[in-house]
A and B are shown apart, each in its own frame.
Chain A
Amino acid sequence: MATTDKTETAKPQAEEVGWETKVRYFLNSDLVRSSPYWGIPFFLMGIAVYGGIGFNTAISLTDARGLTPPNYSPGNLDFEMYTQALGSSAFLSAAQNNLVLLIVFTTVCLLLGLFLAILLDQGIRYNNTVQTIYLLPMALSFVITAQVWLWIYNYDFGLMNIITRAVGIGSVDWIGNPSIALGSVIFALIWQFSGYTMVVYLAGLRSLPDDQFEAAHVDGASTLKTYIRIIIPQMKEASVSAAVVLMVFALKAFTFLYALTGRYRPPNGTDILATLMVRQAFKLGKWAYSAAIATYLLILALGVIAPYLYYQYRQGSL
């Protein structure tokens, strides 16, 4: 295009640069010329993500509820909803459940995924087919898997209770009993997500040079020792990125819990911040209150993402 010619003719005047030349330089810069490519998506995404967050914060500072429009006059902006949330036992127990879900779910998924990846990396025949089977749950919607798990946890005819009855434990109310419902939910989520961590670890394992095993074997180290001492420490990057994805998911998991009962209220004892927030907003119409809960959720998520981005930046992989 003609733009390249313009830069060449403009260059010789570099000693005394007028503002017109500066503007021309700027307009010909790669920043501006590539802007149609990244600018339009950035604009759309920016409105949706950052505009949405800003709007949400504005609503959380009002008293908006029901169908009345929020009142944005400066005198009416306060942090009442935030303190109200912190003082409510429903919020605190949801936050506690969220924390339990996050820690147990992330830890077990990482360990199981690592185990499966190492297992499949042993030269198992048809390992691609096996990988496809292990990853299958990830292709399904939470709405669908929740239906299947409801059937498995069914008190009278479900697979779980047929097993427990055969073993002699008797029937267990997996979803209805508040003290084990959260465990049942976490178990189903681990079933759905451990294939994902396996894939991440497999990619990590396959990127390692093969001669590490040979070297370790020459030194007389067993396979187990080689994995613990040499291979697993090199999986740090894979672990960190998978952990961030799982932790952020654990914070915002809503669909699975909603679909378990098909109502606004998840099974007894499994309320997390995301389900509490949606119920407050769409069932009770407490827009400002639920916006405040959403802000807390966002802060928790940023607490996970920010160190991760910093870590990536330090690694030079951003």
Chain B
Amino acid sequence: MASSSSDQTFDVASLVEDYSLYRISQYVLVILFIGFFLAPLETGIMTAFKTNRAVAETIPLVPPLGEGFTLDNMTFALNALSGAFFNSLFMAIPATIGSVLFGSMAAYGLTMVDWRGQLGVLVLFLIGIFLPYQAVLVPLARFWNNIFPLASMVEPLFVLAPFLQDYHANLVPLIITHIAYGIPICTILFRSYYQGLPTSYVEAAKIDGASITKIYRRIILPISKPMFGVVFIYQFTQIYNEFLFAFTLISGSDTPEAVVTLILPAVGASTSGVDFGIRMSAAFLAALPTLIIYVAFAEQFAEGLKTGG
């Protein structure tokens, strides 16, 4: 490679045509790492479709064959998780919409308009991203349970709504908590996007006498559509996958309002040990919503991670 490329320019096209040993070793590495990242998930999915005998007798990476194949684990896991699925979506969707909207508004107020002291407010938002949630868990538990028992206040309203049971009211404090703690990261994601926008639109609109509200509704919202996609996907994955707040605010994994992440650690476990067929089925089903979103919108997901972490 070194001798052939020293007189060539370093562009992609010349590299792809180059089938040297160096090139082949690069592809071998790429494929080895594909194995490294996929093997755990592959063994999980294979095990999900195996009978208990096949789990004990076959190598985990090998697909279930013949008598070793079963759908029983899947149906069992689906039954165990179906209620929790609804709870997770009922919790994650409004929490995502709320935090994304607030984040966009805050970022607009902090970038498109200039005022003194902005930096100080921004730093307070930034610290909010990195804060260890452990530092607010005790207050959070005390607040929603003893000081402001919102769940029991809104509970009667849930009887009026079809599809909702009164126990869903216990998810309302969790939704509000997720919105509040999601605001900082959403704000910073939108801010980095708004900073990259050309200011000429906004300046022109200001000269024309457009109000701050008008600029937001007519200019900023329409051009930030792609960023709404990015932040929505990022934030939905975060909230759907979140465990600690659910663990703190929902009374237990055996209660009807428990979300998916809360139930999962216990599925498949019994006094005689762990049934890994059932457990892997449940893990796969629980991962499905985020997996579908991830495969469909991988680029937006990566974009969110790049700026947000």
Contacts and interface: CB of A to CB of B under 8 A. Distances in A.
Contacts of B181: 45, 48-49
A318 interface: yes
Interface of B: 1-2, 5-6, 9-12, 15-16, 26-27, 29-30, 33-34, 36-41, 43-44, 47, 55-56, 59-61, 102-103, 105-106, 108-110, 112-117, 119, 121-128, 130-143, 146, 177, 179-181, 183-184, 187, 209, 211-212, 216, 237, 240-244, 247-248, 261, 264-266, 269, 274, 276, 279-280, 282-283, 286-287, 290-291, 293-295, 298-299, 301-302, 305-306, 309
Contact of B5 (A146, A196, A217): A217
Given A30-B113, A141-B240, A217-B6, 18 more contacts: A34-B112, A34-B115, A38-B109, A41-B102, A44-B102, A55-B136, A55-B139, A124-B30, A132-B298, A135-B301, A139-B294, A140-B291, A144-B286, A158-B60, A191-B37, A222-B2, A248-B130, A294-B134
Contact of A33 (B113, B124, B241, B242): B113
B294 A147 contact: no
A298 interface: yes
B135 A294 contact: yes
B47 A42 contact: no
A242 B305 CA distance: 10
Contacts of B265: 143, 146-147, 258-259, 262
A184 interface: no
Contacts of A138: 301, 305
Contacts of B139: 51-52, 55-56, 59
Given A53-B136, A139-B237, A151-B60, A44 B179 contact: yes
Given A31-B115, A41-B183, A297-B134, A141 B106 contact: no
Interface of A: 1, 3-4, 29-31, 33-42, 44-53, 55-56, 59, 69, 116, 119-120, 122-125, 128, 130-152, 154, 156-159, 162, 191, 195-196, 199-200, 203, 210, 213-214, 217, 220, 222-223, 241-242, 244-245, 248, 251-252, 254-255, 258-259, 262, 273-274, 277-278, 281-282, 287, 290-291, 293-295, 297-298, 301-302, 304-305, 309, 318
Given A52-B136, A133-B34, A157-B55, A220 B39 contact: no
A147 B10 CA distance: 44
A159 B60 contact: yes
Contact of B10 (A128, A203, A214): A214
A160 B130 CA distance: 34
Nearest to A220: B6
B60 A252 contact: no
28 contacts: A30-B114, A30-B212, A34-B108, A36-B109, A48-B180, A53-B135, A53-B136, A56-B138, A119-B26, A128-B298, A128-B299, A130-B34, A131-B302, A132-B298, A133-B38, A134-B34, A135-B301, A139-B301, A141-B241, A147-B44, A151-B279, A252-B132, A262-B265, A274-B132, A277-B134, A277-B137, A301-B135, A318-B126
Nearest to B143: A55
A130 B27 CA distance: 11
Given A133-B37, A254-B244, A141 B286 contact: yes
Given A123-B16, A248-B132, A29 B27 contact: no
Nearest to A48: B180
A217 to B, nearest CB: 6
Contacts of A252: 132-134
Nearest to A291: B138
B27 A37 contact: no
A200 B302 CA distance: 9
Contacts of A119: 26, 29-30, 33
A148 B41 contact: yes
B132 A297 contact: yes
Contacts of A259: 243, 264-265
